[in-house]
Amino acid sequence: MAAKFQDQVVLITGAASGIGRATTLKLAALGASLGICDVNSTALNALASELGSALILAQKVDVSSEADVKSFVLAIIDKFGRLDHVFNCAGVNPANIPFQETSLEYWDKQINVNLKGVFLVTRESLPHLKTGASIVTVSSMSGSRGTALQGVYNTTKHGVIGMMKSVALEVGPRGIRANCVAPGYINTPTNSGIVTGGELVEKWAKACALERWGTPEDVADVVIFLFSEEARYVSGSVYEVDGAVRW
């Protein structure tokens, strides 16, 4: 198992924290070569130092920037000579804002990172992917339902599901798969202000049948399954990782 991803190269956005970090650590332990990026260069460099491997390429990238994304993908190809899997994990969490009060600035930030970023990374990666390659994109439990006060965020998360389902149909004949994971309430740094304590923490824990918050590792394990040979006939799918959310 230690070499399950030996000689395979994985691109990971949003790698420096939360689900991206957990997935990076697990893939490194499984022998993968990794191209990792994040907008937080301090956290990214700390992660790269922790991994301490020549099989890591770390680069500060704003996924909403076409130039940044193109540079990153080409750097991966220059270093490793190939690209096998893509994990679109970078994203911006929602704020509760009434739809009629939503600013264009907030709309642009959500769309640029959560939707445009996935588009750019996927588009630039596709020419380098070959038979057996796969793409996994982080959507959300909000990608299949509505949530009051989070209309823009939900738009982006519905959007990436539609994008991946369409990409799966387009690149399937090339032997390339595309899927989504849809996390529920996950204990990540972006949720740290909520999960440290209080009634809301307990309420959200009991909002799913398993009655606990998920961990980044819970999601990372599903991502790694979707990259693996065991998921060779899984494409155009959305894997909900939410402990059977009740609403």
| pLDDT digits 0-9 by tens, 54-111 | 799 999 999 999 999 999 999 999 999 999 999 999 999 999 999 999 999 999 999 9
Q: DSSP code of 234?
A: -
Kindly report the pTM of this predicted structure.
0.95
CA distance 12 to 37: 6
Which helix (H) or strand (E) segment holds residue 105: the answer is: helix 104-110
Instruction: Give the pLDDT of residue 195.
Output: 53
User: Is there a contact between 158 and 143 (Cβ–Cβ < 8 Å)?
Assistant: yes
pLDDT above 70 for 16 = yes
In this prediction, residues 25-49 reach a mean pLDDT of 97
Q: What angle do CA 39, 42, 48 make, to 5 degrees?
A: 95
Q: What angle do CA 215, 218, 222 make, to 5 degrees?
A: 150
CA distance 192 to 25: 20
Q: Which of 106, 153, 233, 239 is catalytic?
A: 153
Q: How many CB atoms lie within 10 A of CB 12?
A: 27
In this prediction, residues 123-142 reach a mean pLDDT of 98
Question: Can you list the positions of beta strands (E) in the chain?
Answer: 9-12, 33-38, 56-60, 85-88, 134-138, 177-183, 238-241
pLDDT above 60 for 2 = no
Half-sphere exposure of 229 (CA within 13 A, CB side): 5
In this prediction, residues 224-234 reach a mean pLDDT of 98
Confidence label for 198 from pLDDT (cuts 50, 70 and 90): low
Confidence label for 3 from pLDDT (cuts 50, 70 and 90): confident
In this prediction, residues 172-189 reach a mean pLDDT of 94
Give the percent of the chain with pLDDT over 70.
94
Instruction: Give the pLDDT of residue 247.
Output: 73
Q: Please give the order of strands across the beta sheet that includes 85-88.
A: 56-60, 33-38, 9-12, 85-88, 134-138, 177-183, 238-241
Q: How many CB atoms lie within 10 A of CB 39?
A: 18
CA distance 144 to 159: 10
Instruction: Give the pLDDT of residue 62.
Output: 98
More confident call, 1 vs 119: 119
CA distance 184 to 51: 28
Confidence label for 42 from pLDDT (cuts 50, 70 and 90): very high
Active site residue 153: yes
Instruction: Give the pLDDT of residue 201.
Output: 74
Half-sphere exposure of 199 (CA within 13 A, CB side): 0
Confidence label for 194 from pLDDT (cuts 50, 70 and 90): low
- What domains does the chain contain, in order, with CATH numbers? 9-241 (3.40.50.720)
In this prediction, residues 173-196 reach a mean pLDDT of 83
Instruction: Give the pLDDT of residue 190.
Output: 64
